[in-house]
Structure 1
């Protein structure tokens, strides 16, 4: 039996929404949802423009950094709670490590 087998070259790629990484597309998609909730064309346009601006900002901030930069930033900048707390790393308020 001869069959063509697909062998993936990259196993740890970021999640994609269309052509965009999920963390870049999220601000735009969320702002479209908020714009839809406003029920006005002007509100939708303003929210879409703000979402595009935020997505561009995230994309430029993330450029030339580690692929998981957004997750690392969220761990150190956002407050820890039982849902977002990581078990293998210390809490984000502990800045000094001995070792």
Structure 2
């Protein structure tokens, strides 16, 4: 009856791509793809550099904040469309809530 049971401690960790969180790695991968699509070596190098710098900026912006900071920022800053609209929360253009 006494058996060692594994209890996972990290069920809600963010998705990772290598060592990076997915929201930090996405700009680098996207710009890498754009550089590959450009078809030139300089275009690839410039896009990869821009993607790397943008990823570093995002990771520094996210530092010491909530793990879902990027998702929260996207909800409040970007316009609403049917794909991102949430039913349980008010629209993001309503800033004052009573209650």
Aligning the two structures, in what range does the TM-score lie when normalised by the shorter sequence? over 0.9
Count of residues in Structure 1 that have an aligned counterpart in Structure 2: 99
Q: If the length of structure 1 is used for normalisation, what is the TM-score?
A: 0.94
Q: Give RMSD over aligned pairs.
A: 1.5
Give 5+ residue unaligned stretches, structure 1. none
Show CA shifts across 1:1-25 (max 9, x none).
9876532111111111111100000
Q: How does 1:1-99 map to 2 (within 5 A)?
A: 5-99=5-99
Runs of 4+ more than 2 Å apart = 1-7
Q: If the length of structure 2 is used for normalisation, what is the TM-score?
A: 0.94
